């Protein structure tokens, strides 16, 4: 199993450009998430998808859109990038075992907006 994979690993954008961050998991998990992590800070939830076909806003959704393409893939789109969106973006998926759960994270995408 590859686990959670993310592409690209690095990206530099100019203000106003758009791009899509890709995420895929091969663990057959229902729930997937997008987080951002600014330097020296904890992770903040942007959007999540509890199951295929559903998406919901997290703590910091402004400036982002998401698509849950199928059970495996969950993409994050920046329509008009801003310097404040410079961050590391992590995708995650969750395994539920009864009421317990375990979240698996991807390696991250480092985005710089100039």
Partner 1 sequence: LAKTTQPISMDSYEGQEVNITCSHNNIATNDYITWYQQFPSQGPRFIIQGYKTKVTNEVASLFIPADRKSSTLSLPRVSLSDTAVYYCLVGEITDKLIFGTGTRLQVFP
Sequence-ordered list of residues with C-beta below 8 angstroms from that of 16, at least 6 positions apart, any chain: 80, 81
Residues numbered 14 to 33 that lie near partner 1 (CB under 8 A) are 31, 33
In Å, the largest CA–CA distance within the chain is: 45
Q: How far is the CB of 82 from partner 1 (least distance, A)?
A: 22
Instruction: Answer for the pair 63, 47: CB distance below 8 angstroms, yes or no.
Output: no
Contacts with partner 1, 85-104, as mask; x by CB under 8 A: -----x-x-x----xxxxxx
Where do contacts with partner 1 occur on this chain (CB under 8 A)?
4, 31, 33, 35, 40-45, 48, 50, 56, 58-59, 90, 92, 94, 99-108
């Amino acid at each position: 199993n590859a686990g959670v994979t993310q592409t690209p690993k690095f990206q530099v954008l100019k203000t106003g450009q758009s791009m899509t961050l890709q995420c895929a998991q091969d663990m057959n998990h229902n729930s997937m998430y997008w987080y951002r992590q600014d330097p020296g800070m904890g992770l903040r939830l942007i959007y999540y998808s509890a199951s295929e076909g559903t998406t919901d806003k997290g703590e910091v959704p402004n400036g982002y859109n998401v698509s849950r393409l199928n059970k495996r893939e969950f993409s994050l789109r920046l329509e008009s990038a801003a310097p404040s969106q410079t961050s590391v973006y992590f995708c995650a998926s969750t395994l539920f075992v009864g009421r317990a759960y375990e979240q698996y994270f991807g390696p991250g995408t480092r985005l710089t907006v100039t």
